[in-house]
Every structure is written in C-alpha cells, then in structure tokens.
Amino acid sequence: MSAHADSHSGSHHGPPIAHKSSRVDASVLGMFLFIASEAMLFGAFFTAYFMVRVVNPEAPDWPLEPFHLPVFIAGVNTAVLVTSSFTMHWALQSIKRGNRTGLKAGLLLTFFMGLAFLITQMLEYARIGFNPADGVFGTIFYGLTGLHGAHVFVGLTLLGIATVRAFRGHYTPEHHHGVELPGIYWHFVDVMWIVVYATIYLI
Amino acid sequence: MAKNPFRSEADAYRFLLLTIGYFALIVAAATLNTWVGLVVFVALSAVVLWRWLGSRTVEAPLRTSVPRPHDEAERHILVIANETVGGEELLAMLRHRSDGVREQVLVVVPALNSVVRHWASDEDGARAAAQGRLEASLARLASAGVVADGKVGDGDPLQAMEDALRTFGADEIVISTHPEGRSNWLERNVVGAARERFDVPITHVVVDLESA
C-alpha cells in the first residue's frame, strides 16, 4: 500500500521539471511576437494614413493636388516583387527535391528581382516630385514605403547570405532551414507590399 | 489554436497568394464604385474571419493508439484529475476495477496555468501547485488502500493524458471532474474530446467535494 509522486524524489528542489509540451515552442512564440510587432508598426502608419484620408473633406480626389503617384511604374514593380516570391518558392521546392541548380537559380533570381524593386523605388523617390516635408501626405507616403523598403533591404541581406551559401554547396533536401526562414520573411515582405500598394496607390 | 500563416515557407507562400486575391477583388470592386469596394471588403473580411474561427475548432485530433506492454493479469488505470482525487465515488470505482487483477494506478494532475503565464512559459507556480495537489491526492488514495504512482502533467488535460499514455500504456482512463456547472473540464468537453482522441475505454467519474 504505497503511493508516491515520481517527480518528488532525490535531491531535486523547487517545482518539477516541465514537460516539453507544456511550454510554448520558442520559435512559435518568436514568430508570433515578430508578426505582432510588425503588425503594430505598419498598423500605426496605416492608421495615420487613413485618418488623414478620412478626415480630409476633399478625400474623393485622392491623392490631393499637387501629389501624383506613379501607379503604373509601381504596378510593374509590384509584379516584379510578386514574381520574386514565385522564384523563392521554386528555390525551396527545388532543394526539397535535391535540385541544386533550381535552388541556386531561384535564389539568384529572387535576389536580383528584389534588388530591382529597391532600385526602382529609389528612382521613384527621385522623380516623384514631393518629399517627406511636403505635408502630412508626403510624410506618410515616404514613411510607409520607406518602412517597407527597409524590410526589403533586410530581406535582400538574408537572401544574399542564403544565395552565397547555396553556391558554396550548403543545404540538402533534409537540411534547408537557411532557405526556409528567408523565404518566410520574403513572402511576409511581399504581403506587406500588396497591402501598401493596394491602399496607397490603387484605392 | 488557429494555424500560424507563417509557420513554414509553403504556408507563407499560400498566405501571399490569398492576400493577392483578397486585395485584387477589393481593388477591382472599388474601381467600379467606392461603396461596392467597401461591401466587398467587409464581405471578404467576414469570410476570412469565419474561416479563421472555423479553423480553431475543425482541426480533428489524432486518434492515438495506446501501447499496452504489460501482463494480461495486470490492469493499468490512468486517473486524470485536477483536485477531485479522493472522492468516495472514485475510490469505490478504483477498488471495483482492481477486483481479481493486479492493478497499477497512475494519477496525473495537470499543471493548470493562466493563458498569459502559459505564453510566457512561466509555469513554475502552476507545477508547484499541481505537485501539492498530487501529493494530497496520493495520500488520500494510500489511506484508502489504493496503490498509485503520480505525475504532474501538461496544463492541457488532453495533452497530459497523451503524454502519460505513451509511457504508461493504460487499459482504461478515468477522468474525475466536479459536477456539471462547476467543472471547467466538462464545459470544455474534455471527456468527449478524450473519447474521440484515444483508443482506450474512458470512464467519467463525477466527484462532488462540496457534498462530501
């Protein structure tokens, strides 16, 4: 007639050790915190943008004179960025199937399309005809697109590292975390651009 | 729990495609008329919300097969209870089950925690409290003549059962709860979910500590 708790023996002090499943996985928690912080960051800019737009009595003629947005060029740039997500996905699918050529080609294409997007955006800034000091619209436009551009830059850095590693022979069908994570980030950057482009340029 | 859209590259890619479709429809509608665009935005957002909420409940649990690597003459009983071990109903049931066989009883007490503490991985307090409840439960069982081992389990009672089954190999699970109306587990349908999830006979025992 005995009874004992098996985690209450020996010299162990304090509460019993947690089972692994008791805890939120650190990578899951990290990703949730990252998404939450990014949502709040972009959300703050979008809130300011919509506030300016909604409270402005001349809102139907948006954007107000003398601002003019290069919708077509930005549309082409959007197509380039979206295509870069397709090539990113192709790169990852390739390494999962053991196709190293596809991995390298996919990463290289993704990198150069991302670079093309960033350069085009800088050229757009140079020719757009207003600057961040030209009223609240200019400030928010540069704030939102600049914030996104900063994310593209971070994404390009991650992609650059992944590309160099791919050409050095890293990654296998079983181990390709170094491609998977930049891929997730790159798709996130694309998602944010779709939101920015649709709300600022199109709607 | 809802699925994280950025859990893997494939999930993120799918989320991107859905985002493109979502905004393409809204922009196309807004081009026709601003109010049409607003209606499409509201409708699509409602669909997305509905699908997201649905994904929290539709995900079917895996039906876990339980290994039973013990002698035929033995009967392994897994008791899962938060604070209701020791009620006369449960003790009588355990005595009845052990008639004519060698019984092994494992009591698992889930380390119930608040959501905030769970997400912060701060569960030392919850596990210490569960340890205290477990020791009290084992003492009551011992005084009633029931041989039992004990463990502190996961805060989710279903996960605690699954963890225990993988090492204990139970012939039966006994879930002990408060009566209807006072039991959080019954409100969450823990017993029904366990019956769906585990390939083991499950007995639900109601222990009314207030009337004891």
Q: Is A156 on the interface with B (CB under 8 A)?
A: no
Residue B111: strand, helix, or coil:
coil
List the beta bridge partners of residue B150.
A5, B107
Span of A121-125, B18-22, B159-163, B165-169 with lowest mean pLDDT: B165-169
Q: Tens digit of pLDDT for each residue in A119-161?
A: 999 999 998 888 888 888 889 899 999 999 999 999 999 999 9
Sequence-separated (6 or more) residues with CB below 8 Å from residue A137: A52, A63, A64, A67
Chain B partners of A22 at a C-beta cutoff of 8 Å? 111, 123, 127, 154-155, 159
Q: Write the residue in B23, B119, B123 that is nearest to A18 by C-beta.
A: B123
Residue A12 lies in a domain: no
The CATH number of the domain holding residue A96 is 1.20.120.80
Q: How confident is the model at residue A12 (pLDDT cuts 50, 70, 90)?
A: very low
- From B139, B136, B144, select the one nearest B91 (Cα to Cα): B144
Q: Which of B13, B149, B159 sits opposite A4 (nearest CB)?
A: B149
Handedness of CA A113, A115, A121, A127 (dihedral sign): negative
Interval B114-155: pLDDT, tens: 888 877 778 888 889 999 988 888 888 888 888 788 989 888
Alpha carbon separation from B150 to A186, B24, B144, B165 (Å, rounded):
48, 57, 16, 13
Looking at residue A3, its pLDDT comes to 45
Task: Give A160-166 contacts, CB < 8 A, sequence gap 24+.
Answer: A160/A111, A162/A107, A163/A104, A163/A107, A163/A108, A163/A111, A166/A91, A166/A95, A166/A100, A166/A103, A166/A104, A166/A107
How would residue A24 be classed by pLDDT, with cut points 50, 70 and 90? low
pLDDT value of residue A155 = 94
| CA–CA distance, B31 with B143 (Å, rounded to integer) | 77
Residue B77 tokens, joined = 């009983």
| Contact between residue A154 and residue A181 where contact means Cβ atoms under 8 Å apart | no
Number of domains in chain A: 1
A17 located within any domain: no
Interface of B with A in 33-92 (CB under 8 A): 37
| Amino acid B59: pLDDT | 46
- List the one residue out of A117, A111, A119 whose CA is nearest residue A164: A111
| H runs (alpha helix) in A57-134 | 71-96, 100-127
Report CB contact under 8 Å: A23, B123.
yes
**Could you tell me the residue range of the domain that residue A193 belongs to?**
24-202
pLDDT on residue A130: 86
Rounded alpha-carbon distances, angstroms, from residue B196 to A32, B88, B107, B205: 30, 28, 21, 18
Number of A–B residue contacts, CB under 8 Å: 122
In a domain? residue A10: no
What CA–CA distance (Å, rounded) separates B18 from A191? 9
**Residue A59 domain-assigned (yes or no):** yes
Burial zone of B137 (CB within 10 Å; 0-12 exposed, 13-18 middle, 19+ buried):
buried
pLDDT, tens digit, 9 for 90 and up, residues A101-128: 999 999 999 999 999 999 999 999 998 8
Chain B residues in contact with A82 by the CB 8 A cut-off are 16, 20
pLDDT at residue A8, rounded to an integer: 41
Confidence check: pLDDT of B22 > 90 = yes
- Strand arrangement of the beta sheet that strand B74-81 belongs to: A3-5, B148-153, B102-110, B74-81, B172-177, B202-206
* B113 or A9, greater pLDDT: B113
Write out pLDDT tens, residues B58-110: 445 555 566 666 677 778 889 998 776 767 778 888 877 777 777 888 999 99
ipTM: 0.80
In a domain, A92, yes or no: yes
> Does residue A141 lie in a domain region?
yes
Residue A37, both tokens: 């912080």
- Contact residues, chain B, for A188 at CB < 8 Å: 6, 12
In a domain, A60, yes or no: yes
pLDDT band at A97 (very low <50, low <70, confident <90, very high): very high
- pLDDT at residue A1, as a whole number: 38
Q: Whole-number mean pLDDT of chain A? A: 84
pLDDT at A58 over 50: yes
HEC per residue, B144-167: CCCCEEEEEECCCHHHHHHHHHHH
pLDDT score recorded for residue A2? 42
Beta strands in chain A (DSSP E): 3-5
Residue ranges and CATH numbers for the domains of chain B are 9-58 (no CATH), 74-206 (3.40.50.620)
Q: Is the pTM of this model over 0.90?
A: no
Residues 31-90 on A with a CB inside 8 Å of B are 31-32, 35, 82, 85, 88-89
Instruction: Tell me if A114 is assigned to some domain.
Output: yes
